[in-house]
Amino acid sequence: MTGAQHAFPRLNFACELDTQQLESVFATGAIDSLRETNAAVTLSLTDFSPERANVVRRLNQSGIPVTAWMALPKEQGYYLNAGNAREASARFTAFEKWTAVNDLRWAGVGLDIEPTVQDFELLLQGHWLRFAGAIARRCFDAGRVQRARNAYRTLIKRMQTDGYRVDTYQFPFLADARKVHSELLERLFGIVDVRGDREVFMTYSSFNHAVDSALVWEYAPEAQLVAVGSTAGDPKPGGKFIPMNWDEFTHDAIVAGHFFPVVGVYSLEGCIRQGFLPRLKTIDWSQTVTVPASSLQKVLGLRARIQSILWTASRLPYIAGVLILLDVWLIRRRRGRFGP
């Protein structure tokens, strides 16, 4: 399948460097490269320090739009999810005070909705039993999903009332859960199905390089924006998370640009590390790109399996109930026919 983009999309680079690294990066010409390519930045607010405020102020002065990526301290989960809605609200209050004190300007606010960083660490370290225990506790809390949705809807409304555009960053598989009317992903992993002004699907083909740009092509029609990536990771052969190379990055970005005037990129630091920023001006956005049919089939098959699992697992109690009733009916029927 092919697609061609004839307009120059704005690239919005996500950045989650700590403050010391952030100051160093933006002191080495990154701002000039971003300005020359009309790019934007989504900045993770891991702290509300004067030094981080100075970086935002420099971006403001250079005319580079900056989105505030609401991030929590690591001990509170870092990413926003069903378990830390109260902390997210308090974080936004602190953000507004910090913004006012430092006279900062924002293009919007971003909510990165993912499982807690502790969940990811359990999986990466192979603590499957502890992870399973955490999932089991969530599943038995019947009201957790709705409480989380209500809390984040309230927070998003508050942000919008205060004048901010709100972006929500979601795993693309949430689209599959919606298709089969399943809350299972929310129950198991604590993600929250809420939307702000723009929903951004994180279509990171670096997690499976074999799918090429098919992940972007398949999920983009169901999103308002997509983010491509990841350009960060372990570049060593055999590493767990090998970052996208230049060809993969440009291919995904061009396909995403077929659908949207803005394309998210994760991450700025990965692009800088690989020397992508000076090369951005060389991208031919008008070129035709091809998404291999084999890659599309892989993604379509993946989506079909995900939807089937979600549909079945979400309805297991009902299926079990029907089977039990059927069993009881058969037993009673036999007794009626053959006597007690």
Write the pLDDT tens digit of every residue in 143-163: 999 999 999 999 999 999 999
| Amino acid, res. 282 | T
- Residue pointed to by tokens 């995403």: 256
pLDDT at residue 93 greater than cutoff 70: yes
- Of 191, 192, 186, which Cα lies nearest the Cα of 153? 192
Please tell me the distance from the alpha carbon of residue 220 to that of residue 222, in angstroms, as a whole number: 5
Domain boundaries, the chain: 2-292
Q: Please indicate whether residue 333 or residue 323 has the higher confidence score (pLDDT).
A: 333
Beta-strand ranges (E) seen in 155-247 are 166-170, 198-203, 225-229
pLDDT at residue 125 greater than cutoff 80: no
Would you state the pLDDT for residue 313? 85
CA 142 distance to own-chain centroid = 25
What kind of fold does domain 2-292 have according to CATH? TIM Barrel (3.20.20)
**Reported confidence tier of residue 129, pLDDT bands at 50, 70, 90:** confident
Structure tokens at 168: 């929500």
Q: Is the CB of residue 67 less than 8 Å from the CB of residue 12?
A: yes
Q: What mean pLDDT value characterizes the chain?
A: 88
Please tell me the distance from the alpha carbon of residue 311 to that of residue 163, in angstroms, as a whole number: 39
Neighbours of 301 (CB within 10 A): 10
User: Which range has the worst mean pLDDT, 2-11, 247-256, 265-274?
Assistant: 2-11
CA 258 distance to own-chain centroid = 20
Please tell me the distance from the alpha carbon of residue 266 to that of residue 210, in angstroms, as a whole number: 19
Eight-state DSSP code of residue 190: -
Would you state the pLDDT for residue 120? 76
Q: What number of helices (H) and strands (E) belong to the chain? A: 14, 10
Q: Is the CB of residue 68 less than 8 Å from the CB of residue 108?
A: yes
Q: Helix or strand or coil: residue 26?
A: coil
Cα-only R_g, the chain = 23
Write the pLDDT tens digit of every residue in 5-53: 446 899 999 999 999 899 888 877 899 999 999 999 999 999 999 999 9
Q: Please indicate whether residue 264 or residue 6 has the higher confidence score (pLDDT).
A: 264
